[in-house]
Amino acid sequence: MTQDNKQVLLEVRGLKVAYGGIQAVKGATIEVREGELVSLIGANGAGKTTTLKAVTGIQPIADGEVHYLGRSIRGQGAWDLAKQGLVMIPEGRGTFTRMTITENLQMGAYTRNDKEIDADIEKVFGIFPRLKERRDQLAGTMSGGEQQMLAMGRALMARPKVLLLDEPSMGLSPIMVDKIFEVVGDIHKQGVTMLLVEQNASRALAIADRGYVMESGEVTMSGNGRDLLDDPKVRAAYLGE
Ligand SMILES: Nc1ncnc2c1ncn2[C@@H]1O[C@H](COP(=O)(O)OP(=O)(O)O)[C@@H](O)[C@H]1O
Ligand SMILES: [Mg+2]
């Protein structure tokens, strides 16, 4: 499916990010169009998380540009960007372990002041019945997979225009991995634009409209998700073939 006619919501152009003397991202260019699910794959240490941190205003940009909704994100903090719908689910989930499920979901709406927050919590419970069952339980008492569901539910409470997910399947049991990829696909079908960072390359590319491969801070390949999945170089490097 071609989406060239769709508006570019997120544009990363020639992005460079450094930690002191270490160049973690060395000129990455990535585009996410309205309605797309784009997967960014690559080995541990390739610079994927650093890219997401730069995009969300958490890590300073050394060079290059990041545009969200056509405007530079420079000078805008994570809160401002989240308020405009650019929302990240961080690596390791980032749930508030000493708050209940419901309180975590309410925290997800911290950039909002409308009257539909309770209705949106019910919608999240519709997507994740498990969270509804445990609504009054402390988040810290749940399994990794349940906490990932909570992290996704909390992000949805911000009404994201572009949702950035960092390794949602990491450390989960095979059944939970299936569940998480299923939900990512469902959320995408409901119209949320997504940039999905994953080490599980086969699953991430299988559900993606397009994908990018990152190696040592550089984007080395890009294309249609299916084409990348069938590419012998990708298969050799990331699918163990
Ligand atoms: N806070 C940090 N300080 C110094 N180096 C870091 C920091 N975070 C990441 N790095 C380095 O930057 C590179 C990219 O890391 P990262 O973006 O986390 O990769 P990925 O998410 O693809 O695994 C790695 O070499 C990593 O060691
Ligand atoms: Mg990472």
Is residue 118 one of the residues assigned to a domain? Answer: yes
Strand bridging mode 162-166 / 86-89: parallel
pLDDT in tens, 113-141: 899 999 999 999 999 999 999 999 999 99
Nearest-atom number in ligand 1 for the CA of 19 is 4
* Residue numbers of the domain that contains 149: 36-45+77-208+217-238
Mean pLDDT of 77-83: 90
Confidence of residue 3 (pLDDT cuts 50, 70, 90): low
- Examine the pLDDT at 38 and tell me if it is beyond 90: yes
Is residue 140 one of the residues assigned to a domain? Answer: yes
Rounded to whole angstroms, the Cα distance separating 187 from 160 reads 11
Is residue 8 one of the residues assigned to a domain? Answer: no
Nearest-atom number in ligand 1 for the CA of 47 is 17
Give the closest ligand to the alpha carbon of residue 165.
2
Output the domain CATH number for residue 129. Answer: 3.40.50.300
- Examine the pLDDT at 34 and tell me if it is beyond 60: yes
Nearest-atom number in ligand 1 for the CA of 22 is 5
User: What is the reported pLDDT for 239?
Assistant: 82
User: What is the reported pLDDT for 47?
Assistant: 97
Q: Are 87 and 160 in contact (CB under 8 A)?
A: yes
Is residue 89 one of the residues assigned to a domain? Answer: yes
Is residue 59 one of the residues assigned to a domain? Answer: no
What 3-state DSSP class applies to 226?
helix
Rounded to whole angstroms, the Cα distance separating 137 from 39 reads 33
Rounded to whole angstroms, the Cα distance separating 229 from 134 reads 38
User: What is the reported pLDDT for 93?
Assistant: 81
Is residue 1 one of the residues assigned to a domain? Answer: no
Does any ligand 1 atom lie closer than 6 A to the CB of residue 44? Answer: yes
Tokens for 142, please give them.
């749940």
Rounded to whole angstroms, the Cα distance separating 229 from 90 reads 25
Q: Are 196 and 210 in contact (CB under 8 A)?
A: no
- Best residue among 12, 30, 50, 165 to mutate for probing ligand 1's pocket (most ligand atoms within 8 Å of CB) is 50
User: What is the reported pLDDT for 134?
Assistant: 96
- Best residue among 39, 49, 167, 218 to mutate for probing ligand 1's pocket (most ligand atoms within 8 Å of CB) is 49
pLDDT in tens, 184-230: 999 999 899 999 999 899 999 999 999 999 999 999 999 999 999 99
pLDDT in tens, 89-107: 998 888 999 999 999 999 9
The dihedrals phi and psi of 124, each to the nearest 5 degrees, come to -60, -40
What 3-state DSSP class applies to 73?
coil
Total count of domains within the chain: 1
Tokens for 27, please give them.
């000129």
Is residue 66 one of the residues assigned to a domain? Answer: no
Does any ligand 1 atom lie closer than 6 A to the CB of residue 24? Answer: yes
User: What is the reported pLDDT for 2?
Assistant: 53
Report the predicted TM-score, pTM, of the whole model to 2 decimal places: 0.94
Is residue 19 one of the residues assigned to a domain? Answer: no
- Examine the pLDDT at 76 and tell me if it is beyond 80: yes
